[in-house]
Amino acid sequence: MSNPFGARGHIGPGGGAWKLLPIPVEFRGTTVQVCGLWAFAAGSSRPTVGVPIGRDIESGATVCCDPFGWFRAGIASSPSMLVLGLQGLGKSTFVIRQILGLADQGVVPLVLGDMKAEYVAVVRMLGGQVMRLGENQRINPLNPGAMGQAADRIGGEAGEILREQALQRAATTTATLIQIARRARLADWESSLVSRGVRLLDATHRDQGLPGPILPDLLHLLTNPPQELLRATLAASAEEFRETVTPLLRSLQAILEGPLGMTFSGETTERLDVDAPAVCVDVSAIRRHSSDVKAAIMMATWSEGYATVEASNALAEAGLGPQKHFLMVLDEMWEPLRIEGAGLVDQLDGLTRLNREDGVGNIFITHSLKDMESMASAADARKARGFAERSSIIVTAGLAREDLAALSEVKRLSEVEIKTVSGWTTPAGWKKRMLRDPATGIERPAPPPGAGKILIKVGDRAGIQVQVQPTETELALHDTNSRWLTHTREPEPAVPQSHTRRTDRRRADA
């Protein structure tokens, strides 16, 4: 007897055989749930610890990854991640997934220096604090900030130790601003003098019940030095002191009367909120300013952010607050670090080195290792490269082959991985590729074929190729092509050329 069934259904009249079989609906779940429907289910070999980010390109399995989850699970040696990739291939989309997923776990995201305002909408959706610097907003580098407030709450010896740390951070920030202004490092005695001046001003203002000192107060103090500062420089008189410190005074004057004065000459207008569920410092207003202005504001922002973390940790140790974990997001951080002689790489290196001890996870975002290697000096380039070497997790979107070869010196990449990732930068072709929303008539460029594809590397293990799958909510929060959107309408039917000729001929006859 012949088989009445073929490969696509019943053969014969009324059989209803399909020429194209529909794709069945796919459901995903844990092995505990799925085994009730299918007894032969097996778990994926990919890590399921951390924030779900997408699917393995090769197997389709769900991949989870974040610096906190992988550090706690022992997959990564530190909660630090470096994200690389060319523009338009999904770096920010991946980072936003990290921010949202970790915020759901109670981690507080701190976006310190959002140069393109890419994370403002995300932080606002989380109910967080958005600070906008560069437009009538000021930062007082002499103010101990959150650390000073925490020191007052803690009191006693522990409070005094914390206040001393806060004053040292204020002195370091002030010295860094001077180095940026003069594009050269301070001498050792100049750094010591700035530190003594900051401490003396703080003590004087506290004893007299005055508001906290500001940068003009430091200039006035150094111009009219007390005996303590004369002894610090071994000067016999105030005239000899002023003659010695004239270069330092000129640098301070340049800050106050130059483009940095608007930001650093007064009291801080808004402080980072320790209790906010998320914080974004929007510095997009300074994006087109000089490198000096960008470097100064970015460095002050980083210092303020890490000081807020230290204050939170101190309050938790004193039993005055919960222990929190913070995710520091530093995007496009390399441009302001390139100022020759300012020593900004050293400053940032000191801020970020102790992330494990402080309960902090870092995400550094840049285009390629070339950004780190383009520092003003070879020594700074080596230190900047250390950020990549200390990042336990490296995530790269599409990169040029030579960039991947350089990356392979930090995290070894196989030839197959280099070929695959470099292929993600290749456009689909010369044909126009646009997406149009039929409801609104808005037309936008279609994402390139490599958009959302990333390679996750940990040590010398084989990398995991993932297709990041953003939700509609995430896509609505983050659209880097918003300025390129155009409203369109359906094109009118093309008039046949022969008809056009007949019409023209009739007009000519008339």
**Tell me: the pLDDT tens digits for 1-47?**
566 666 666 666 766 666 666 777 766 677 677 777 777 666 567 77
What span, in angstroms and rounded, lies between the C-alpha atoms of 484 and 477? Answer: 16
Given a cut of 50, is residue 505 above it in pLDDT? no
Q: Using alpha carbons, select from 52, 70, 81, 69 the residue that is nearest to residue 365.
A: 81
Least confident of 178-187, 231-240, 284-293, 340-349: 340-349
By the 8 A CB rule, do 396 and 457 touch?
yes
Give me the DSSP letters along 106-137: T-EEEEEEETT--SHHHHHHTT-EEEE-SSS-
pLDDT, mean over the chain:
82
Residue 480 — pLDDT band, cuts 50, 70, 90? low
What's the pLDDT score for residue 357? 67
- Dihedral angle of Cα 298, 329, 191, 206, to the nearest 10 degrees: 90
The answer to whether residue 83 scores a pLDDT higher than 50 is yes
pLDDT above 70 covers a percentage of the chain that reads 80
Q: What is the pLDDT of residue 502?
A: 42
The 10 Å Cβ neighbour count of residue 272 is 21
Tell me the pTM.
0.80
Mean pLDDT on 43-71? 87
Nearest-angstrom CA–CA distance, 301 and 173: 10
Choice among 84-88, 190-194, 325-329 with the minimum mean pLDDT: 84-88
CA distance linking residue 263 with residue 429, whole number of Å = 47
Predicted local distance difference test score (pLDDT) of residue 17:
62
Segments making up each domain of the chain, as ranges: 138-269
Q: How confident is the model at residue 378 (pLDDT cuts 50, 70, 90)?
A: confident
In the predicted model, is pLDDT for residue 280 greater than 90? yes
Q: What is the pLDDT of residue 298?
A: 85
Which position has the higher pLDDT, 392 or 5? 392
* Residue 253: other Cβ atoms inside 10 A: 15
